[in-house]
Amino acid sequence: MLTRTMNQSKIMLVIGMLILIGQRIGQLVSGKPGTPIGQAIPGILAVLFVCVISLKIKEMLPNLKFPAFAWATLIALVLSMPFMPTAKIFLQYTNHVNFLATTTPILAFAGISVGNKIDQLKKISWKLVIISIAVFIGTYFGSALVAQTILKMQGII
């Protein structure tokens, strides 16, 4: 169990470094100074701590079909609620982490995950295409409907 936690922590540190590299590249490409990497490190460590805790909760509750990602979301939500004593400091540090920089390692690992299941995807064949199209269309129109409603409520359109 300790070995598994150590391996997970090592992977999380690599992911944290990838996020910092992505954040720096984003700053260089955009030409905007952004947050210095040194200021983003405490925020990255806070995010990684939440991730490790969520993995431990998932490990302790194996019969509960609740993904570790959902646990991480709930923990971060609770830590950042305005009435929580942790909110000010948690948000102070995590606000220095560029959200788009976090997507690079997430998408890379998602690609690896899909690549490892290519045989299962072949069995699904053409059904996967239909489901994907339905999801894309539903997401597009759902997002457009939400945007339309909110922009109308604000009087922008």
pLDDT digits (tens, 9 = 90+) for 80-128: 999 999 999 999 999 988 888 888 777 777 777 777 777 877 777 788 7
Asked if residue 96 lies in contact with residue 43, where contact means CB atoms within 8 angstroms, the answer is: yes
All residues at 6 or more sequence positions from 40 whose CB lies less than 8 Å from its CB, including other chains? 20, 23, 96, 97, 98
Sequence ranges of the domains in the chain: 2-116, 118-157
State how far the alpha carbon of 83 is from the alpha carbons of 44, 52, 80, 88, in Å. Answer: 23, 24, 8, 9
Nearest to 48 by CA among 102, 122, 128: 102
Q: Write down the pTM of the prediction.
A: 0.69
